[in-house]
Amino acid sequence: MAMARHWYSSAPVVDGLPFLDEPGFWAAHLVDLCEGESPEAFGVDAADAGAMLERLHDRSAWPVFTVPLEGGFSIVVHYNSGEEYTSTDYFLVHPGSPDAVLVSTDQDRTGPGLCWPELAAILNAPDGAVGVTDPHARLLLLLPVLGDSAAPAEAVDAVTRALIARGAPERCTALARRLLGGHPMWGAQSWWFDADERSWICDGEHSPRQIPLGDHLPERRRAELETCLGAEPDA
């Protein structure tokens, strides 16, 4: 079961934002999505990627990243390097609402947590936001949350542009496609839009999105969530 966010208050968390511009970060962060892929595919060498992976799983300093969304919502990414196991937890949070787990790579495996239309809708940060605001960084940081078997060609193009912007070679389309294949714990899954619930629903057996996102929220807060995630599918 994913570590509850309030437990992180007593954990050795550190701000992960400075990590984003360091050599090897993206190869290390996305390593599970492209097992066996050379770090050179990301434009870095193996030594930098290995060193960054060690830092991400340092038991004395657990990186945390905040991706601000509209309406006061955020997706918070916590690396958890405890004594028994390491995992990465992704929470959808709001100061006035209970946290929702989108993805966790712990032993219970929880995911995927977003479909492509939702991820595409949150690539741009709100004006004046603090945290991870660069659209390319937001996309790559949240790729482990994605698991959508119907991701369109535009998704491949977007991931390719993000990789290049973050140092990958120009010819990285094959890597982009592989990264869109979903986390190996749950893979790419089918999604459908429930018009009555105004929410995307995932068919994956490990996904928390088998029920409407935000169904635990007050109506006003849920409407804000639908707005920030661009709930309605394109016509």
pLDDT tens, position by position, 118-172: 999 999 999 999 999 999 999 999 999 999 999 999 999 999 999 999 999 999 9
Tokens of 35: 């097992």
- Tell the residue number behind the tokens 């709930």, with chain if given: 231
pTM of this prediction? 0.94
Mean pLDDT of all residues in the chain?
92
The answer to whether the beta carbons of residues 104 and 90 sit under 8 Å apart is yes
- Tens-place pLDDT, residues 17-66: 999 999 999 999 999 999 889 999 999 999 999 999 999 999 999 999 99
What are the residues whose beta carbons fall under 8 Å from the beta carbon of 195, sequence distance 6 or more? Answer: none
What are the residues whose beta carbons fall under 8 Å from the beta carbon of 29, sequence distance 6 or more? Answer: 56, 140, 141, 144
Say if residue 104 is exposed, middle or buried (CB neighbours under 10 Å; 0-12, 13-18, 19+).
buried
Amino acid identity of residue 75, one-letter, is I
The answer to whether the beta carbons of residues 47 and 20 sit under 8 Å apart is no
| Strand pairing category for 199-202 and 97-104 | unpaired
Q: Identify the residue with better confidence: 8 or 102.
A: 102
| Predicted confidence band of residue 213 (pLDDT cuts 50, 70, 90) | confident
